[in-house]
Amino acid sequence: MPGSVPRQSPPKATGGRTPRLIARRRGRTTTGRTKKPKQQQLNVMHWNAEGLFNKKAELEHTLHERNIHICCIQETHLQEAKSFKVRGFQCFRCDRIGISKGGILTLGRNNIGATQTRMHMNDSEFQVLCLRLGDRVMHVVNIYSPNDRALSLDTIDPEDTNYLVVGDFNSHSQSWGYDNMDRRGEEVET
């Protein structure tokens, strides 16, 4: 969606039957089975900022208000000489060198073990982060693909499981609200 401020996703569709409630006592259900430990929910946000430096206060407010754990930002327009930090988050930057446009940044909460494992700044810009969430490992790809550069999705090479790719692909498809589908939309869907 175009815009200069982070937007909330549309509300999730609901319907169907109401889930059945099961009474629990001391880690066991009423049927005597041991309850599985609850997995931590991971809130991921992605945003095409079209320039980030002057929007830091709104970003920080949104991150904390919506309890965001991972934030993938495209078109940061940050320059490597200027510092950019967000309190409570690790900051993984990939700035375009010598160009004031483009760039990507991924923020990960300090309590999540995150490391950047790959970065690609030719054609499409992307970075891959490895997240350690308790006993689980997950990979998050933040991608920005400008209209004037090749989409190059084949360079991402995702794992089979626990892989999330988010970003601005500059592509059209009915699957994400456009009236038509373009070549890039077909490639992203495939």
> What mean pLDDT do residues 1-22 have?
42
Measured between alpha carbons, how far is 144 from 150 in angstroms, rounded to an integer? 11
Confidence of residue 168 (pLDDT cuts 50, 70, 90): very high
- Tell me how crowded residue 52 is: count the other CB atoms within 10 A of its CB: 18
> What mean pLDDT do residues 107-124 have?
91
Looking at the structure, give the CATH architecture of the domain made up of residues 41-189: 4-Layer Sandwich (3.60)
**Residue found under tokens 């970065």:** 119
Query: What is the reported pLDDT for 25?
Result: 43
On average, the pLDDT of the chain sits at 82
Where are the alpha helices (H) located in the chain, listed in sequence order?
A: 56-65, 183-189
Show Cβ contacts of residue 90 under 8 Å, excluding neighbours closer than 6 positions: 107, 108, 109, 110, 114
Strand-strand pairing, 44-48 and 163-168? unpaired
> What mean pLDDT do residues 65-94 have?
94
Query: What is the reported pLDDT for 82?
Result: 86
Single-letter amino acid, residue 86: V
Which pLDDT tens digit goes with each residue over 173-188? Answer: 999 899 999 999 999 9
Phi, psi for residue 153 in degrees, rounded to 5 = -65, -25
Percent of the chain with pLDDT over 70: 78
Show Cβ contacts of residue 136 under 8 Å, excluding neighbours closer than 6 positions: 39, 162
The C-alpha R_g of the chain, in whole angstroms, comes to 19
Measured between alpha carbons, how far is 160 from 162 in angstroms, rounded to an integer? 7
Measured between alpha carbons, how far is 93 from 72 in angstroms, rounded to an integer? 10
- In the predicted structure, residue 110 carries a pLDDT above the cut 50: yes
Give the H or E element holding residue 131.
strand 125-133
Note the pTM of the prediction, 2 decimals.
0.76
- In the predicted structure, residue 97 carries a pLDDT above the cut 70: yes
Give CA separation, 104 vs 117, 124, 161, 167, in Å: 15, 11, 24, 9
Confidence of residue 149 (pLDDT cuts 50, 70, 90): confident
